[in-house]
């Protein structure tokens, strides 16, 4: 099994595998179970534990935890959620605008690997109705090697025409940043495992 990356969904078979720096909120004990996915987040610990987020039914129900890599029994990537348009067409959430937008994007020939994150992705992997009328569509593009911003001009134009608001995050090995901010030029905020950094080149961390 490959090492999970930020925004991947992971499952564990035993809730005792959940470790937390603080006491987990009551809703986790009452509403979370091992059939639900955890979302890999950005953080790091000396023992190489995987940082995960626990998500509930409402926007405020979020909790941070850690799991041992050996506890992971399944991984689903954001990219895999858009690999089969038929699955989207038969989703119980097909009438929701974010899913309609995904179906539109699947019909386009995009020059890079991309996937869906956020509430839309969580709904697709869990079958829980966590999307609402004004939900955004959160997209992820993984770029392990440097690219020129001009390669994203057409894509940026296309997703601005979608039936709902869409945010795109570009992920490099160093962290993630907003596509819209990058296309404006200048320094950008890069989310890393050690916290946010203001950088000019998101593929190269500044020297300490």
Looking at residue 126, the DSSP 8-state letter turns out to be H
Burial 74-87 (b: 16+ CB within 10 A, else e): ebbbbbebbeeeee
Active site residue 167: no
CB–CB of 54/24 below 8 Å? yes
Active site residue 138: yes
Nearest-angstrom CA–CA distance, 14 and 21 = 18
User: Which entry of 84, 138, 144, 187 is annotated as an active-site residue?
Assistant: 138
CB–CB of 5/144 below 8 Å? no
Q: Which residues contact 55 (CB under 8 A, 6 or more apart)?
A: 36, 39, 61, 62, 122, 130
Reduced to 3 states (helix: H, G, I; strand: E, B; else coil), residue 39 is strand
CB–CB of 131/166 below 8 Å? no
User: Which entry of 136, 148, 167, 187 is annotated as an active-site residue?
Assistant: 136
| Alpha helices (H) in the chain, listed in sequence order | 26-31, 85-89, 97-106, 118-126, 153-159, 179-184
| Catalytic machinery residues | 136, 138
């Amino acid at each position: 099994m490959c090492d999970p990356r930020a925004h991947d969904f992971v499952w564990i078979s035993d809730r005792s595998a959940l470790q937390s720096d603080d006491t987990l909120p009551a809703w986790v004990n009452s509403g979370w179970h091992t059939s639900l996915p955890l979302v890999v987040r950005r953080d790091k610990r000396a023992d190489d534990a995987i940082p995960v987020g626990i998500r509930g039914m409402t926007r405020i129900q979020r909790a941070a935890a850690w799991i041992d890599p050996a506890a992971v029994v399944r991984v689903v990537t954001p990219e895999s959620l858009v690999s089969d348009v038929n699955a989207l067409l038969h989703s119980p959430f097909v009438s929701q605008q974010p899913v309609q937008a995904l179906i539109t994007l699947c019909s386009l020939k995009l020059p890079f690997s991309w996937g869906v994150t956020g509430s839309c992705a969580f709904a697709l992997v869990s079958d829980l109705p966590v999307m609402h009328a004004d939900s955004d569509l959160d997209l992820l593009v993984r770029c392990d090697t440097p690219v020129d911003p001009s390669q994203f001009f057409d894509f940026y134009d296309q997703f601005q025409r979608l039936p709902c608001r869409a945010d795109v995050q570009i992920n490099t090995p160093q962290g993630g940043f907003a596509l819209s901010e990058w296309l404006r030029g200048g320094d950008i905020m890069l989310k890393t495992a050690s916290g946010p950094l203001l950088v000019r080149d998101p593929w190269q961390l500044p020297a300490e």
